[in-house]
A and B are shown apart, each in its own frame.
Chain A
Amino acid sequence: MNTPTTHEDAREALGALALDALDGAEHEAVIAHVRECEACARELAELRETAAALVEAVPAARLDDTRRAGVRSRLLARAAADRPAVEPPRMERIVGVEPRPEAAPAAPAPAPRPAVDFAAERARRRGVPAWMAIAASLVAIAAGAWALRTAGERDALRGQLAQARVERDSGVASARALSVALAGRDSALQALGAGDVVTMRMTTTGEARRGPRGRMYWARATDAWVFVANDLPRPPAGRTYQLWLVTGDQKISAGTFAPDSGGTVLVRATYRLTPEQLKAIAVTVEPEGGVPEPTGPMVLVTSAE
């Protein structure tokens, strides 16, 4: 229902159009003409360009510090509130990996494990807020300290594995179990896909040199996470381990798991996070079936070694 317009009328109105000053019906009519008329389209583009330069002429003025800071913090709060709904990460659990005879000679039966009683639990009893403490053990991912830049993710993982083998505080048997778990699960390696793999060490809270160890491998390009741990005791009856990706304001469950008889576990998940978002990775002991928010003692957490 545009009002028809002549070329002359439309051309005369181009200045007003460039300034967004045409009233409804005329605006539509002139726009319709410009779509058909190359000369008018060119002139309009030029006048628009010129009009846009008028912002340069604005005198310097600014909001006072309070209002400016208020704008900034409201924006960040809105962005945080606007995050996509947290969907449970796709998770594939690989548990009960038994050493293959050809890959690893029979290992001595693992010694009986103590019940779960780690530093976090002790910290809790002392009243130390463990979830606040992990902020202090912030993963130095942004700095790229542990980013591996190798030709292939498989080499990267194998390199990490070799390193794991010689860690003096890693038991020989568990290193072997870890080796088998990785070597036998090409799919877990493939899950990491191409690109840099970030490796994060996880240790018992508060006692980096003792207790179970874990590693999280994170391929940012594919949002793939592979969590490997060894020396993990079986959780108490009716309990399970739960893995968490911790951001500034959320603890995202990456699923529950149980270690195999050798204390080894390998968990694979897919979840998108930015390095800035990720504050820590943690493992807690929770009621069987898992919980939406961590409630139990923390047994492993990323350590900023």
Chain B
Amino acid sequence: MHPPPTQPTYSEASGSSTVDTADGSEARLVARMADRDEQALADFHDRWCARVEAVVLRMVRDADDAADVVEEVFWQCWRQASRFDAARGNVERWVLTIARSRALDRLRARRRSREDVVGDDDMPVEGVATDADPASDAEHADRRTRVASALATLPPEQRVTLELAYFGGYSQSEIAARTGQPLGTIKTRMRLALQKLRSLLAPLAEDSP
């Protein structure tokens, strides 16, 4: 029993209403990919690899798997660049959503092929550079801090549930089994956690371009 494929989903089509007015150059790079400009693919990779790698590594926690997944993420961006609608969503959200979806696919495939025991989240991952990309850090340190601290203010059981679902790709029933909690409790925690997070992050959303 596995959660349904994460993409495409109903809500992805109707979710984000953010309009990228501030990053026309990002959208132009995607447009160049849509024109099959291979240099644009290289540039797009260089522009987003730090963010994509961080998301994928956080989720799959294995450098070789992560490299495969990152490749698939950018490949999907390349193939689907013509479908990106700059008027409806921003490039960052687009590429990171794809990153999470492909990482989830890998996690779930791994679990299907072997009874994957949840790895220790603090387990060191080989093949991962310890120096983070300074440019990426500077750009996102503030938002990362704000989301991470919002997450930290959630009751621990809500935060863990959220992380198991979002980064671990576990379904509600898997989380219920793992935590020994009733399914209804897990379901409620997920909704409450997201609602609380939403109220905490509202000022952040207003600041975003």
Contacts and interface: CB of A to CB of B under 8 A. Distances in A.
A15 interface: yes
Nearest to B42: A76
A47 B192 CA distance: 10
A200 to B, nearest CB: 20
Name the residue in B14, B137, B170, B175 with the highest tally of chain A Cβ atoms < 10 Å from its Cβ: B14
B162 interface: yes
Contacts of A51: 166, 194
Interface in A73-87: 74-76, 78-80, 83-84
A23 interface: yes
Interface centre among A13, A24, A50, A51 (most CB of B within 10 A): A50
B118 interface: no
B113 interface: no
A63 B143 CA distance: 22
B111 interface: no
A63 B53 contact: yes
Interface string A251-277: 000000000000000000000001011
A49 interface: yes
B50 A21 contact: no
Contact of B128 (A22, A62, A72): A62
Nearest to B198: A50
A168 interface: no
Nearest to A30: B10
A15 B127 contact: no
Contact of B137 (A31, A60, A84): A60
Interface of A is mostly: helix
A19 interface: yes
Given A20-B3, A20-B9, A63 B147 contact: no
Contacts of A20: 3-4, 6, 9, 104, 165, 169
Interface bracket on B: 35 or more
- State the majority secondary structure of interface residues on B: helix
Interface in A24-51: 24, 27-28, 31, 34-35, 41, 44-51
Contact of B1 (A14, A24, A78): A24
Interface in B172-209: 172-173, 175, 184, 186-195, 197-198, 201, 204-205
A186 interface: no
A151 interface: no
Contact of A56 (B1, B41, B140): B140
A274 B171 CA distance: 46
Contacts of B193: 15
Given A51-B166, A83-B36, A56 B143 contact: yes
A132 interface: no
B31 interface: no
B14 A60 contact: no
A65 B184 CA distance: 45
Interface string B41-66: 11001100111011101100001101
Nearest to B9: A20
6 A-B pairs with least C-beta separation: A15-B191, A60-B132, A15-B190, A19-B165, A56-B147, A21-B165
30 contacts: A19-B190, A21-B3, A21-B165, A21-B172, A23-B1, A23-B2, A24-B2, A28-B4, A45-B17, A49-B15, A52-B93, A53-B205, A54-B166, A54-B197, A56-B143, A56-B146, A58-B54, A59-B58, A61-B57, A62-B132, A63-B70, A65-B129, A67-B63, A67-B64, A68-B53, A71-B70, A75-B71, A76-B42, A78-B75, A84-B36
Given A44-B11, A47-B194, A60-B50, 19 more contacts: A15-B193, A20-B9, A21-B165, A21-B170, A22-B3, A23-B4, A35-B10, A41-B14, A52-B15, A54-B167, A54-B197, A57-B144, A58-B54, A62-B49, A63-B63, A68-B53, A71-B49, A74-B71, A76-B38
